[in-house]
Structure 1
Amino acid sequence: MTTGQQFDLRLEQITKVYPGVVALKDVSLTIRAGEVIGLIGENGAGKSTLMKILGGILAPTAGGITIDGKHHDRLTVSESQSAGIAFVHQELNVLENLDVAANVFLGREKTRGRLKLVDTRAMHEAVLPLLVRVGARFKPQTPVATLSLAEQQLLEIAKALSADARLVIMDEPTSSLTLSETNTLLKVIADLKAQGIAVVFVSHRLAEIEACADRVVVLRDGRTVGHLSREEVNHDAMIRLMIGRDLKSLYTPPGIALGDAVLSIRNVKTTANPASTASFDVRRGEILGVAGLIGAGRTELAQAIFGVGGKLSGEVHIGGIPLEARTPAEAIAAGLYLVPEDRKRSGLILDFEIVENITMANLFAFAKWGMVSRSRQMEVAEEHRGRLAIKTPDVRRVAQEMSGGNQQKVVLAKWLSMAPRVVIFDEPTRGIDVGAKSEIYTLMRALADNGVGVMMISSDMEEVIGVSDRIVVMRDGAIAGELRRRDFSEHNILTLAVGKVLEEA
């Protein structure tokens, strides 16, 4: 296999049919050396299915794949890898009990001597330039268990670059990255392009597509609904093709007058940042955005409030009543709910059905004489499937089979099926398309307008500026500053996030 200019891949009228569901219908796509293709569409549009067929994980029901003039009815995983196709997955695929270098070369370990012993030193030396290339600050010998989600995402990118790739498929690679890390990735993509390596960039962050794509392919309901050349690529054109309509502005002002504090945090100190404390309020009727760089302590603070652990000191009040949640069960009993950053690890039981995931946190509400009513569970699950537009033919399907965006909707449905007083959203739209994002923003506003305290942690600058009524910026576990809407800007948020003082307007 050679890297560089010799590459021509054609997906020809690819169709994939599951029982009762047509996932793809007559999708064709050409990929050539040295071009960046933006692949966009709502959750459930068929993007992941198409990429799994290209990776050899799934076989198409009809159609074929031609690589460098050779036709295949389907690809196996080994054939896909031999053709130079590498993946950077949205959902992380790392082994936390190994170090960075061992993850990069997993299954391809460098060895030495007659006994073929693993050459750890050689792997560390080979991985170091890859980490420099993606702008990572961790080392080849760093244990993966100590890496943040963003750092693990950079590891995945380095792993893909370690293979002699001719095509790199990036599925939501920036979903856990900061603005500076995203800019580094875009430079990596430009570097790959300059080397003649093709890139398929799958993302719901349309500004990134606009920044790097040579052309854009749009899927909707399993079909190709449009192509945009470089000159045609812009935010509005992509949205119109994706969802068939224009979207309103992100921001919707409060529908009620702002009231007293629903959630009060006073001098809360966490194990992640024992030298700092955080204090702020979430008022009735507002959406409070919590911004900051990766490692600022936002997620750790949310977990400490929710009773997951890590709270050293400080006070939490719900509606003026003290809450000392030592476990999530105590927080839930008080009406405080957390939509976690990592939905697969902390928000869902993937092997359970959708209906079970939606109702599991409140089973007593569905039980009588110690027996859970299946019919009542189904009724509530169906109600929320319609309310949140969860794309599934049956709520009895297991959560593992759903797209990432629909899995996130199931996590939201779990809490909305109860009676929340405060909901903390940690990266609520990570890996979710713009249409579903708009629905979740509408839902968040409806919650706030109904008097529920809404606290939103987000690394998406467009999101935190476009959705919040007020923003607090965290740095090293403390509140670095607060912004009213008239002062919202990326510059002001980043200024506070790096510890600088804002200039007076």
Structure 2
Amino acid sequence: MSLMELKHVTKRFPGVVALRNMSLDIKPGEIHGLIGENGAGKSTLIKVLTGVYTPEEGTLIMDGKEVSFKNPREAAAHGIACVYQELNIVRLLSVTDNIFINKALKKKNSPFLEYDKMHERAHDVMLSLGQDIDVKKECGSYGMGIQQMVEIAKAVLIDAKLIIMDEPTSSLGEKEVAQLMKTIRSLKEKGISILFVSHKLEELFELCDRVTVMRDGEHILTKDISEMDNDSLISAMVGRTLDNQYPKMETTRGREALRVEHLNSTGVLKDVSFHANYGEILGFAGLVGAGRTETFRAIFGADNHDSGTIYINEKPATIKSPKDAIRQGIAFLTEDRKGQGLVLTQSVRTNLILSSMKKCKKGLFLDEKHIDQLTGENVDGLKIKISDSKEAVGQLSGGNQQKVVIGKWINTNADIYIFDEPTRGIDVGAKVEVYNIMNNLIKAGKCVIMISSELPEIIGMSDRVIIMREGKIMGELSRESDLLNQETIMKAAWGGAIQ
């Protein structure tokens, strides 16, 4: 018998059928993978399972009985919990307070909380997840890995039968991912079912018993993971084969676009020097916390630096703010697209002109016709899937949100494009589209700098690769070098010499 079944579920929104006749079954104590392109309906499916959305058609069956959830609290009462990609953590509250949020224990006949019992229980739950930590400390004082475990602890606390994990490794380092994998396996051993949603195929093959593929809101297949391979999963997911996952375009390297000399920032950057040319993709690799993002935030004027010189087109540049950087022809696609790249409540149309609004004015007012034309060009050129340009960007899938961020910066007509984790949390098909956007930029003579934690991506798309560790540059590898491989990059990222 299945723990949870969805039978022929349909969910509609104005102008969009998000789920169409969707079926899914999850067995007790299994790790069930769920994969599909951005916009395939995975998020809607999760929200149906957790009571955020009520479907117009279809049936939910749990433990053999038909159920209907009007809200997340009802779903939680049936033992369903979700760890979302954007963690629901209150950073200033303690670990205990976060675990017991909405579930606090009160003293009998008293308005005060039973903190001794709560701390003890919180510590026991975290210990069961392999984390012997001080639960009285602020949650924000711990890293992303611990914060993720706090989210899982919330699910364990309510004796969840089914835990949904939505892209759980997207913001974690290598050691944190290994710990999470260990935790997921231990939850399975306790009979807890996991619905594991990920765009990382290697994680599905490492963890899952079965996998379900969605496309365009519909069920495509469910199979034992042992019956699948990379090619068959990708083909089922995108409806076509991707013969080249990393479509690197060969171009002629041009003159120097950006040079940085002896960039220092107390406790963060240590004598960082490098150059980037027009017509090339320069990759930056390194472990989480290596200083890659911090380097480019300093270059872009988002963070201060103590010393160092930045040259643009071989001339010293004064950049004290992002506004200065934009004037100098630099675009910076941050790794946090939702927090820093977009205004989620605003329309696609508005987000696309956020960095180029001055160019969209006619006198004192915005030129609406020009904005409509520009939006149409972006939507068509970048293949952004929307029902209407006035749709709130927060309603789009991750891949389409990323394309809106890219469109926003392309509209500035910058010369230097910095892509920080450009394919984080987006599917294989959307990744190829992002790579082709990079190819088009360097074909047009632009300079592209890509920061990525995915080594196959770095190796597959870069003309040169710079490796960082603890705020220092450890070495550089060219595309032509026999040493450009994952082993050499990881060795340098851990402090070893490139030989």
TM range (shorter): over 0.9
The residue that corresponds to 1:143 in the other structure is 138
Report the alpha carbon displacement of residue 461 of structure 1 after superposing the two structures with TM: 2.5
Which residue matches 2:418? 424
Task: Give the equivalent residue in structure 1 for 2:377.
Answer: 383
How far residue 110 of structure 1 moved from its aligned partner, in angstroms, is: 4.0
Deviates more, 1:223-232 or 1:126-135: 126-135
- Residue 354 of structure 2: SS of its match in structure 1? helix
Question: CA separation in 1, counterparts of 2:120 and 2:297?
Answer: 37
Alignment partner of 1:441 is 2:435: yes
> Cα–Cα, structure 1 residues 289 and 348, in superposed 2: closer, same or farther, change >3 Å?
same
- The answer to whether the 8 Å contact 1:264/1:318 transfers is yes
After superposition, residues 303-342 of structure 1 pair within 5 angstroms as: 303-342=297-336
- Matched position secondary structure for 1:311: coil
Normalising by structure 1, report the TM-score: 0.93
Is the counterpart of residue 55 in structure 1 residue 50 in structure 2? yes
1:40 to 2:35 alignment = yes
1:96 matched to 2:91? The reply is: yes
**Cα separation, 2, equivalents of 1:279 and 1:138:** 39
**1:150 positional shift:** 5.4
CA contact (8 A) 2:435 2:461 kept: yes
In the alignment, the residues of structure 1 paired with residue 407 and residue 115 of structure 2 have an alpha-carbon distance, to the nearest angstrom, of 46
Q: 1:160 to 1:361 in 2, by over 3 A?
A: same
Q: Percent identity at matched positions?
A: 40
Residue aligning to 1:281: 275
Structure 2 residue matching 1:411: 3-state secondary structure: helix
Match of 2:64 among 64, 69, 72: 69
Deviation of 1:126 (Å): 3.5
AA in 2 matched with 1:422: I
User: 2:19 matched to 1:24?
Assistant: yes
Contact 2:246 2:457 in 1 (8 A): no
How does 1:203-352 map onto structure 2 within 5 Å?
A: 203-273=198-268, 276-352=270-346
- 1:482 and 1:34, CA in 2 relative to 1: closer, same or farther beyond 3 A? same
2:476 — aligned with what?
482
Measured in 2, the distance between the counterparts of 1:386 and 1:417 equals: 14
How many residues in Structure 1 have an aligned counterpart in Structure 2?
A: 497
Establish whether residue 201 from structure 1 lines up as the match of residue 196 from structure 2: yes
Q: What amino acid does structure 1 have at the position aligned with 2:97? A: A
Question: What residue in structure 2 maps to residue 494 of structure 1?
Answer: 490
CA distance in 2, matches of 1:141, 1:282: 46
| Counterparts of 2:333 and 2:309, CA distance in 1 | 21
1:171 aligned residue: 166
Contact 1:89 1:171 in 2 (8 A): yes
Query: Once the 2 structures are TM-superposed, how far is the Cα of residue 231 of structure 1 from its aligned partner?
Result: 2.3
Partner of 1:9: 4
Contact 2:139-2:147 at 8 Å conserved across structures: yes
TM-score for the superposition, normalised by structure 2: 0.94
Residue 459 of structure 1 aligns with which residue? 453
- Unmatched runs of 5 consecutive residues or more in structure 2: none
**Structure 1 residues 208 and 117: CA distance shift in structure 2, 3 A:** same
2:181 is matched with which residue? 186
- Report the secondary structure of 2:306's partner residue: strand
How far does residue 235 in structure 1 lie from its aligned partner after superposition? 0.8
Alignment CA distance shift 1:179-1:186 (3 Å): same
Letter in 1 for 2:230: H
Match of 1:371 among 362, 365, 368: 365
Instruction: Give the conservation status (yes or no) of the 8 Å contact 2:248–2:460.
Output: no
Contact (CA 8 Å) 1:34, 1:196: kept in 2 or not? yes
Contact 1:250 1:467 in 2 (8 A): no
Higher mean Cα deviation, 314-323 or 145-154? 145-154
Structure 1 residues 137 and 441: alpha-carbon distance in aligned structure 2, compared to 1, 3 A threshold: farther
Task: Verify the 8 A CA contact 2:2 2:64 in the aligned structure 1.
Answer: no
- 456-465 vs 53-62, greater mean Cα deviation: 456-465
1:404-434 superposed Cα distances (whole Å, 9 cap, x missing partner):
2211111111001121111111111111011
Q: Give the letter aligned to residue 159 of structure 1.
A: K
5+ long unaligned stretches in structure 1: 1-5
Query: Following the alignment from structure 1 to structure 2, what is the Cα–Cα distance between the partners of residues 323 and 133?
Result: 53
Which residue is 1:360 aligned to?
A: 354
For residue 20 of structure 1, report the CA deviation from its aligned partner: 1.3
What's the CA shift for 1:363? Answer: 0.9
Which of these residues, 397, 400, 408, is aligned with residue 403 of structure 1?
A: 397
Which residue type is aligned with residue 494 of structure 1? M
Show the counterpart of 2:152: 157
1:76 shift after superposition: 2.8
Q: Is the 8 A contact 1:173 1:203 kept in 2?
A: yes
Kindly provide the amino acid, as one letter, of the partner of residue 266 in structure 1.
E
Cα contact 1:353–1:396 (8 A) shared by 2: yes
CA distance in 1, matches of 2:278, 2:154: 46
